[in-house]
Structure 1
C-alpha cells in the first residue's frame, strides 16, 4: 500500500509544506505502508486549458501524462490544504482537474487548518473527489491553533493531532487495501 501526501498550497510563506513534512515524517515510521510527499510547488502545473477533457484518459500534454503516472502510483491520498475564503486552494483544484482515471476508486483524507479548522474547504473538496470516483473519508485532521505549533520554523503537532493523524492513516490503510482488492475486479 502506497500513500501519497499531497501538499496543496504553493504561496509564499505557506505553512502547508511544514505540516506536510511533519505528516510525512510521522507516517514514514509506520511499517504497514509506504509514503511519499508530493509538493504541488514542485510540479508547476499551468492552469488546465487542454482541448480534451481528462475523463477521456487521452492526455495530450507530456506534463499531464507525467502527473497521471505519478498519481497512478498511489493507493490512497492525504491532502494538506489550508482553507482559502471558505474553500480549498486553487492549485489543488487545478491538480485534481488535470487527470481523471488515476484518482478513481481510491481513498482520500485531509489535514487542514484555517477558519473553522478548515472544515468548509474540505466540505467542498469532498464533493469534487466524489466526482473523480474517489472515496473521501470521514476521518480527517483539522489543526487548531496552528500558529502556536511552530517551533524553530517546524510544525509540531500536539498529542491530539498525533492521535487524529493515526486515525486518519488507519482509515486510509483500511480503505486503501479494500479498494485495491476491489479494483482488481473492475
Structure 2
C-alpha cells in the first residue's frame, strides 16, 4: 500500500517572497524524517488563480474557472497539507486565503499543518489559518513550526541570508513534532474516509 500524500503548499506569491527557502528545506527534511508519508512541494504561483468569483464553493456547485479547477484537481490528490506562510498584517497572504476559498470538497476531513515565518514567526497568521481550515472542515494539527526573531533574520534576505542549516537545531524539534502529529491525523482521517 502506498503512503498517504502530503502537499507542502507555498502560500505566498510575491516575487520577493522568502517562502522558497524554508519550503525547500522543509520538503527535504520531511522526506528525510518521515517514512510514513510522501511529500510534494506545491507552489501557488504555478496555478495563476483568479480572485474567487464563483457562484458558490465547489461543495455546492462545480467551479467554472479552468485555473480553479486545475487547483482543485491538484489538491484532491493529497491526504493532508502543510501550509508555508508569512504573516501579512496579522494574517495570512491574500493569495493563500484565495487558494483555500477556491477549493471546497478537496479539504474535507483532511489534516492541515503550518510552517510560519517572520519577525514573530507568523504566530497570528498561523492562528488565523487554523480558524479558516476548521471552517473548511479540515483538522488543524497542534504542532506548528515558527521561524521567528533572530532565527528569521539570520536566514532571511532582510538579515544575514544564511542557509537554513544555521537555524536547524532550534526548529527541528518543532518540525519533528509537526510531522508526528500530521502522520497520526493523516492516517486516522484517511482510514475514516476510506471506510
| Common topology (TM > 0.5) | yes
Map 1:40-55 to 2 at 5 A. 40-55=44-59
The counterpart of 2:116, out of the listed 93, 112, 125, is 112
Partner of 1:164: 174
The counterpart of 2:152, out of the listed 146, 156, 159, is 146
- Is 2:15 the counterpart of 1:12? yes
The counterpart of 1:132, out of the listed 127, 136, 140, is 136
1:81-109, Cα deviation, whole Å (9 max, x unpaired): 01111111100000000010101101111
Inter-partner Cα distance in structure 2 for 1:113 and 1:7: 12
- 1:153 is displaced (CA, Å) by 6.5
- Is 2:103 the counterpart of 1:93? no
Report SS of the residue matched to 1:79: strand
Extract structure 1 runs of 4+ deviating beyond 4 A: 150-154
Report SS of the residue matched to 1:103: coil
Inter-partner Cα distance in structure 1 for 2:36 and 2:125: 30
Inter-partner Cα distance in structure 2 for 1:57 and 1:28: 36
- Is 2:93 the counterpart of 1:83? no
- Is 2:43 the counterpart of 1:31? no
Equivalent pairs counted in the alignment come to 185
Inter-partner Cα distance in structure 1 for 2:48 and 2:131: 24
Q: CA RMSD in A?
A: 1.6
Summarize the Cα distance change of 1:155–1:59 in structure 2 as closer, same or farther, 3 Å threshold: same
Inter-partner Cα distance in structure 2 for 1:123 and 1:88: 9
Inter-partner Cα distance in structure 2 for 1:164 and 1:112: 11
Unpaired runs of 5+ in structure 2?
Answer: none
